[in-house]
Amino acid sequence: MELINGKEIQAFTLTHIGKEVESLKEKGVEICLAVIIVGNDPASRVYVNNKKKACANVGITSLEYALPQETTTEELIALIDKLNADKSVNGILCQMPVPKQIDKQAVIDAILPEKDVDCFHPVNIGKLSLGRTEILPCTPAGIIRMLEFSGVKIEGSRAVIIGRSDIVGKPMAMLLLNHSATVTVCHSKTVDLPSVTRQADILISAVGKPDIVTEDMVKEGAVVIDVGMNRNSEGKLCGDVDFEKVAPHCSKITPVPGGVGPMTITMLMENTLTAAKAQNNLL
Ligand code: GUN
């Protein structure tokens, strides 16, 4: 069993991105990401801080817009419109979740597709489904990058995803299909989940519940990718996979923390770079 080290792959990738950002600066192109956070969700605050740190690390300017909890959809979209029109802003993201009075879909739709570095906009999801990708969904793209870096063959493999969220499960299926895997998406209504997951050469769990992936669900020698970010009963950060029991059966597995998490932010940096290049006709 081998651990897939997200931190190491992150460091390698960020170094490469940093060099490209630097060379664009020499051509007079400064890259800027606008990060919007609404309200006081502590987890969102941690994510936003980590995104700003990653920007600083690679030489991308980050602008934070922290809006109060009671912000309306109209106020948030007014800010997005201003950032859409600002040529010095290459990427815009609104940290999710937003407070419940805000129409989340209207916010996603308001961000110009060419500045949508999360790849949440329907146009970008549509392009992904057609294999016409420039901006990629961050977590799924980070997972593909980890698999490639670790020498896992995706083409022709059987990939099983647990979870059908708009952010991870669905775009992950699309991206794996674009890489010629045979893809199955499982969810809460799947009948006999273990019989499906046991077929996986690559098993990806994106559910958000500790220990839902157990030993009996994993084929001997499978590659297991754990997207979960949970707290267990002792308050410790953990993934979806019962790591101690499952890991001995895997050829490769991602830890939590230090697996998928760092790669999500890394791909956000790559998307911001790609967006800036596209906007300057440098792709
Ligand atoms: N909330 C959880 N994950 C994400 C993400 O990738 N992007 C944004 N904007 N919000 C999130």
In tens, the pLDDT along 162-207 reads: 999 999 999 999 999 999 999 999 999 999 999 999 999 999 999 9
- Are 185 and 170 contacting, i.e. CB atoms less than 8 angstroms apart? yes
C-alpha 172/C-alpha 166 separation (Å) is 9
C-alpha 126/C-alpha 273 separation (Å) is 21
Q: How far is the CA of 167 from the centre of ligand 1 (A)?
A: 8
Annotated catalytic residue: which of 10, 115, 118, 279?
118
Amino acid in the structure at residue 190: T
Specify the fold of 138-259: Rossmann fold (3.40.50)
Q: How far is the CA of 1 from the centre of ligand 1 (A)?
A: 31
- pLDDT, position 157: 98
- Per CATH, the homologous superfamily of domain 28-112 is Leucine Dehydrogenase, chain A, domain 1 (3.40.50.10860)
Going by their DSSP bridges, the two strands 250-253 and 2-3 should be labelled as: parallel
Q: Is the CB of 107 under 6 A from ligand 1?
A: no
Q: Give ranges for CATH 3.40.50.720 in the chain.
A: 138-259
Q: How far is the CA of 96 from the centre of ligand 1 (A)?
A: 5
Return all residues near 211 (Cβ < 8 A) that are at least 6 apart.
232, 238, 240, 241, 242
| Res. 27 pLDDT band, cuts 50 70 90 | very high
Q: Give ranges for CATH 3.40.50.10860 in the chain.
A: 28-112
pTM for this model (two decimals): 0.97
Q: Is the CB of 76 under 6 A from ligand 1?
A: no
116-144 b/e with 16+ CB inside 10 Å = b?
A: bbbbbbeebbebbbeeebbbbbbbbbbbb
